[in-house]
Amino acid sequence: MGLLCLVGFGQAYIAVIFKNILSNFFASWQLRLDKERLKHTHILASTGGGKSSAITFLIDENVRKNKGFLLIEPHGEMVQRILSNKRFSLAHPSKAYKQLVYLNFDEDPPQLNVFKLPLPKNPNIRQAFIDGLASELTDALGHNMQPVLTEAQYVMLRNIFIAGFYLPQATFQGIVKLLSTEGNLLLPQLISQLPTPPLQDYFTNDFLSGNARRTRDALRLRLNNFLIPRQIYQSFCASECEVDFAAILAENKFVVVRATTSLLGNYEAKTIGNIIHNLLSKYAFERLLSGKPCNPFFAYFDEAQHYLNGSVHRGLTGARKTGLNYTLAHHELNQEGISPQQQRSIVNNCNVKIYGNLKWKDQKEAAAILRLEKPEMIERLRPGEFFIKAGKNRVGLKRFPFKFAIKKEAFGRGWLFNAFARWEETKKLLDYLKRQRQKRLFELDSFVPTKPELHFKKFSLDGRKP
């Protein structure tokens, strides 16, 4: 009986190896989508259909070809799979781990004081850049906020963010204080620093009016609730900002954001993802002014319905200008959280469509988008199989390499035909990233010399040493 079990296990092991070899070989010449993906990608499949495997394969291609990317997802599973990729192990010859930027808001939050972001030196450009940053922050905070922001709250929040860049030692906590009664003491000094008369007039009259008191209290409550989790407070209320978005774009960094809803909360985790993306998008549009060619940079959103704010829709139509290319993945068409207008914009602007097995209500519409003859063709797809349509090319049935579908330790994680490294190698990577971050923080913080401790010698009462 034991011999039969060993034989069966060996056959299964060999079958997996051959699946990896064959699927990797076919994918290597059938999935060349480099040019097509520069105009966005839309991944659609039901739960268990293989979206994670498709994203993992595409990110692996980015790492192999040294093309920067940003990964944002709300659950943390995809983050763990990407960090476990063999290409990020310390022993891999590509040394890809040196370009990895791991923003772990769950356990080791980075210093992200948005008011300490590097600004243009030209005063005219700097003012316009600050206005854009304030709009991006307002859009990110208000996107998933319930109830939605009123017009008065939106205007006040945007103007508060603009004023924050002129406050000395400003943080998110300082913005909350400015909305309280203590903020009235800061206004005389602040108003003199504001750049334009309309903004000065707003804080002189409208901000202090009786009608604005209720708006100030509501915004203070919302921002204070956002800062309640310890990790968020430590990150956004830090004294400095250690994330350089301009360098990320220029040096093709690999950015992985870990902010999970299970630990931080639904609104908080999704808002962190929106803030990171909006700031990166702002710097992507800003580098157009330099006149230099923009390197392609890929932004991946799993569960994309949580992050489809105004900045994403603006980026969907500006990929050729900014070089920022989106890969949006979710479960179904007309999903909750995606309006019909947003869905139409995604379908029309995404050049590459990767559709897997879908529920019956989406099969007909997806078949029409892909121009398939029968909707039943989508229903017959197995997990990991996709119809791929790139531009005007003919639709083809593809399967991503099987080695990216292995999630567990089965069949020898870290083995030759597996895309994932052993847990010991991943742990070494995480330890390395933690040490590098501590080194950056040490260089970032100002060195304050401490006074030497005074050690008193003990003597006996008669004056002799003990």
Predicted local confidence at residue 417, as pLDDT: 65
Question: Beta-carbon neighbour count of residue 339 at 10 Å?
Answer: 11
Q: Is residue 406 part of a domain?
A: yes
- Same domain as 345, residue 275: yes
- Same domain as 349, residue 215: no
Residue positions counted in the chain: 466
Predicted local confidence at residue 62, as pLDDT: 95
Reading across the β-sheet that carries 254-258, which strands appear in turn?
100-104, 254-258, 69-73, 297-302, 324-330, 41-44, 352-355, 385-390, 396-399
- Same domain as 429, residue 377: yes
Buried b (16+ CB within 10 A) or exposed e, 91-110: ebeeebbebbbbbbbbebbb
Q: Is residue 8 part of a domain?
A: yes
- Same domain as 176, residue 130: yes
DSSP 86: G
Buried b (16+ CB within 10 A) or exposed e, 359-398: eeebbebbbebbebeebebbeebeebbbbbbbeeeebeeb
Residue 26 Cα distances to 54, 398, 406, angstroms: 15, 9, 18
Q: Is residue 130 part of a domain?
A: yes
Amino acid residing at 305: Q
- Same domain as 191, residue 290: no
Residue whose entry in the numeric block shows the structure tokens 């991944």: 43
Q: Is residue 455 part of a domain?
A: no
- Same domain as 221, residue 287: no
Q: Is residue 453 part of a domain?
A: no
Predicted local confidence at residue 31, as pLDDT: 58
Domain boundary among 230, 255, 284: 230
Residues 103-152 have pLDDT tens digits of: 999 999 999 999 999 998 888 889 999 999 999 999 999 998 888 999 99
Domain boundary among 181, 205, 230: 230
CATH number of the domain enclosing 436: 3.40.50.300
d(CA 373, CA 106): 46
Q: Is residue 362 part of a domain?
A: yes
What is the extent of the structural domain holding 134? 117-230
Provide the terminal-to-terminal Cα distance of the chain, rounded to the nearest Å: 80
Predicted local confidence at residue 320, as pLDDT: 67
Statement: the pTM of the whole predicted model exceeds 0.85: yes
Joined tokens for residue 118: 């590097």
Residues 64-106 have pLDDT tens digits of: 999 999 999 999 999 999 999 999 999 999 999 999 999 999 9
Q: Is residue 401 part of a domain?
A: yes
d(CA 118, CA 31): 39
- Same domain as 123, residue 102: no
- Same domain as 205, residue 301: no
- Same domain as 176, residue 69: no
d(CA 19, CA 410): 15
DSSP 434: H
- The low-confidence residues of the chain, meaning pLDDT below 70, are 1-31, 318-320, 406-417, 443-466
Which candidate, 353, 332, 280, places its Cα nearest to that of 71? 280
Q: Is residue 454 part of a domain?
A: no
- Same domain as 224, residue 168: yes
d(CA 145, CA 157): 13
Joined tokens for residue 320: 């050729």
d(CA 235, CA 354): 36
Predicted local confidence at residue 448, as pLDDT: 41
- Same domain as 337, residue 211: no
Q: Give the three-class secondary structure for 324.
A: strand
Joined tokens for residue 82: 């990407």
Predicted local confidence at residue 113, as pLDDT: 95
- Same domain as 135, residue 222: yes
How many separate domains does the chain show? Answer: 2
